Structure 1
Amino acid sequence: MKKIWGYWRKKDLLPFSSSIIPGTDRGHHGTNFKPGYHIRDKDLGEIHKAASVGSVAKTHQVLLLGKNGLNDKDKMNRTALHLACACGHAAVVAFLLERKCLLNLCDAENKTALMKAVECQEEECATLLLEHGADPNVVDVCGNTALHYAVLFQNVSLAAKLFSYDANIEARNQDDLTPLLLGIRERKRQIVEFLVKKEANIHAVDKMKRTALMLAINYECMDVVSLLLQRGADIFSQDVFGRTAEEYAVISGFKIQKEF
């Protein structure tokens, strides 16, 4: 017996009781989330100012004069490496790495420089960090890894780079979302397809026991629904309310047809 899912929109979807997108600074929702740092001179040491404007010469001078140490943190717990990565200053990043700066120090949100590079879509900086041994599996205050941020911004190239350095494809954040589940919730179809091809667990569930298939139905990701079904997604699994994917389809206004 083969199940074929046809679908037609009958009514607005019933909203999930979803939390704010995990890992977004200061409680912003995904559409309003702005990556990077709010930079104010009064929060910065001399080395942080130099790194944030991309001056290798000034960064070097600050170190030579002993005004700051290589790994000193500013008032927001950021190192020069954090600021250089967030601002996309690869030359400063390379200089700091040559001086053997510490790679995995965390800022006030427990984000490493690698996380900031990925969050800010600074692929050259991220690549330099990974090549020098940065850990892709550190988690921030919301439990997100660098891979979660690559998914949030649908950067397939960065995700592939992270995988080449052993990023955990099944890492879970505080909402129990794997990168795949986060990608589906954020309607990032391209990277979801990439993750499925990389053998992400399509049977993973979030903290409400909602499967990838349930999320795809709720968020109208019909290409993803078809992909998950082709990969053998379980339509009978139940969430904490006892609902199956088939029931979510009915609630959401999608018609299920069966072909024998």
Structure 2
Amino acid sequence: MSRGSFVFTPTALRSLKLDEDMLERYKYKKQLASHHLNSYMVKREPPLRSSTARPPTVCQDVVVHNAVYTGDLEAMQHLFPKGSIANLIIEPRGGEMRWVARGEGLWSLTYEQELTTPIHITSSRGFTDCLRLLLQRGANVDLAPGGTTALHESCENCQSECTKLLLSHGANPNAVSEDGLMPLHLCTSPESLECAKYLLQYGAEINGCTVDEDDTPLHAAARNGLIDHIELYLRYGAAVDKRNDVGLTPLNAACSQPQELQDLERYLKVCQMLLGAGADIRTTDQDKHSPLHMACKNVNPDIVDLLLAKGASVNDMDYGGEAPMHNILKVVCYKVSHHPERVVRALLNHGSIRVWPGALPMVLRHCSISPRTIEVLLNVYSHLKVNDTWVESVSEEVFKEHKEFYESVFALERTPRSLQHLARCRLRTFLDARVHKVVPKLDLPTFIKDYLLLECRGYVH
């Protein structure tokens, strides 16, 4: 038996068999990306190269490695004098370990190596002068021993000067990596904007799709909330309603992306730009999730207001039979700082379905941490059957923190709703889905209009 192997139990062997199947599927994806390579490349004449150009050789010289990885231009000028060839492949030492099949049912742990080249290293690290030297010494600008070109590396690491230099030396702006990505798909941060500009100037395909997900650069920009990228791509004619393999358009992708509090305004601007460019507000993904479903799930009140103002349907159901109201109520406890009550209020004012009264204790249990949300929900009912189950649904900690509000709720067990509230319910029932349109036009004091539109007061009556 090999020193690098050991006997596995039947359970472990079955597990390794699953891993082997997964590796085979991964290899198939790589072959698929390679198969589609030509269809994603702009047809153009290859750059002229010397007829005496030699194939790249593997370099294991530590001195060369150190010079390349540290960007030591003086050392590299000494190592690559005029007339020399810098067409090298480097195999870094180390890396992550993985199980590799060795035949005869035996597996061993082996370091996973990714081949690279000096121009990959210098491009990814922004060593522009070193990169220029290597290109002058005949380095193959489109060589991809590890599955990506140097251009992919420079764009992924936002090295705009290296990107420009590679493109000026004939790098293919539409080269497809082993993972099925073009360089433009790797421009996923604000700092990559200059790289994206250079790629488009040199002929990058604005609607080129990734092999696996069928994403366009506009999908990537929308998903990452890149306002300047979106403006750039739209100027170059990006397809605003292109669907990916799961049916997401760029607008859907932006709305579905999880958003922290500091990201809300940025994603609102993204949605405004896409809608301004003609994005379809009713497009759903393969699970029939609309942009409104997704915006409610991520609790972005401004995007919800924007979508509703543009005519989004408030009661469309997804394949699971859930409307946007379901999506917001499921995440209230995680997104209190996002003001979920604004989303709930907007949905109700546009005619959303209400929670079944019998399910209110369950909603109270999950959403009690946001009393403002509970207040909005309760104020669309003319009568409530408050009982001990309601009291038990609010934890002692939450009750202590919001004592005045929950005392007003529990008091409804002995007290009917006020006449003022009943009048509000009657008017809202009459107006139905027109509440948001009609109430602002009424000749009434502002505080009464706010009351009719379910603005919070900190108690129920």
What TM-score, normalized by structure 1, do the two folds share? 0.74
Structure 1 residues 46 and 230: CA distance shift in structure 2, 3 A: same
Q: How big is each residue's C-alpha offset from its partner over 1:57-87, in whole Å with a ceiling of 9 and x where there is no partner?
A: 4333333434x31211131x11111112222
Match among 257, 282, 285 for residue 203 of structure 1: 282
Match among 236, 242, 249 for residue 178 of structure 1: 249
Matched, 1:97 2:161: no
Please state how far the C-alpha of 1:163 moved relative to its aligned partner: 0.9
Structure 1 CA distance, aligned partners of 2:158 and 2:297? 36
Match among 166, 169, 172 for residue 240 of structure 2: 169
Please state how far the C-alpha of 1:128 moved relative to its aligned partner: 0.7
Equivalence map 1:78-227=2 (5 Å):
78-119=148-189, 121-140=191-210, 141-186=212-257, 187=259, 188-227=267-306
The AA in structure 1 aligned to 2:222 is V
Structure 2 CA distance, aligned partners of 1:199 and 1:182? 15
Matched, 1:56 2:135: no
Deviates more, 1:106-115 or 1:214-223: 214-223
Please state how far the C-alpha of 1:184 moved relative to its aligned partner: 1.1
Structure 2 CA distance, aligned partners of 1:249 and 1:118? 28
Equivalence map 1:213-252=2 (5 Å):
213-245=292-324
Please state how far the C-alpha of 1:54 moved relative to its aligned partner: 2.4
Counterpart contact for 1:119–1:149, Cα < 8 Å:
no
Structure 1 residues 91 and 217: CA distance shift in structure 2, 3 A: closer
Deviates more, 1:160-169 or 1:91-100: 91-100
Structure 2 CA distance, aligned partners of 1:185 and 1:228? 14
Partner of 2:442: none
Structure 1 CA distance, aligned partners of 2:315 and 2:197? 42
Q: How big is each residue's C-alpha offset from its partner over 1:88-133, in whole Å with a ceiling of 9 and x where there is no partner?
A: 2222222222222211011222111112134574111110111111
Q: How big is each residue's C-alpha offset from its partner over 1:183-239, in whole Å with a ceiling of 9 and x where there is no partner?
A: 111243331222222221101001111212222223322222221121111234332
Mark the structure with the bigger radius of gyration.
2
Counterpart contact for 1:48–1:74, Cα < 8 Å:
no
Structure 1 residues 98 and 241: CA distance shift in structure 2, 3 A: same
Counterpart contact for 1:152–1:183, Cα < 8 Å:
yes
Q: How big is each residue's C-alpha offset from its partner over 1:125-145, in whole Å with a ceiling of 9 and x where there is no partner?
A: 110111111012222222222
Q: Sequence identity of aligned pairs in percent?
A: 23
Structure 2 CA distance, aligned partners of 1:41 and 1:179? 38
Q: How big is each residue's C-alpha offset from its partner over 1:8-67, in whole Å with a ceiling of 9 and x where there is no partner?
A: xxxxxxxxxxxxxxxxxxxxxxxxxxxxxxx9962311221232232334333333434x
The AA in structure 2 aligned to 1:86 is E
Q: What 5-or-longer segments of structure 2 have no aligned partner?
A: 1-68, 70-89, 93-114, 260-266, 333-343, 350-431, 439-461
Higher relative contact order (CA 8 A, sep 6+): 1
Structure 1 residues 100 and 41: CA distance shift in structure 2, 3 A: same
The AA in structure 1 aligned to 2:252 is L
Equivalence map 1:17-56=2 (5 Å):
42=92, 43-56=115-128
Counterpart contact for 2:141–2:150, Cα < 8 Å:
yes
Structure 2 CA distance, aligned partners of 1:252 and 1:246? 11
Structure 1 CA distance, aligned partners of 2:269 and 2:143? 39
Deviates more, 1:39-48 or 1:186-195: 39-48
Structure 2 CA distance, aligned partners of 1:123 and 1:108? 23
Counterpart contact for 2:292–2:312, Cα < 8 Å:
yes
Structure 1 CA distance, aligned partners of 2:292 and 2:158? 37
Equivalent residue pairs, number = 220
Give the SS at the match of 1:213. helix
Structure 1 CA distance, aligned partners of 2:170 and 2:237? 22
The AA in structure 2 aligned to 1:63 is L
Counterpart contact for 1:70–1:96, Cα < 8 Å:
yes
Give the SS at the match of 1:122. helix
Structure 2 CA distance, aligned partners of 1:242 and 1:173? 23
* More helix, by proportion: 2
Partner of 2:383: none
Structure 2 CA distance, aligned partners of 1:251 and 1:46? 51
Partner of 2:141: 70
Structure 1 CA distance, aligned partners of 2:134 and 2:329? 64
Counterpart contact for 1:118–1:126, Cα < 8 Å:
no
Structure 1 residues 46 and 242: CA distance shift in structure 2, 3 A: same
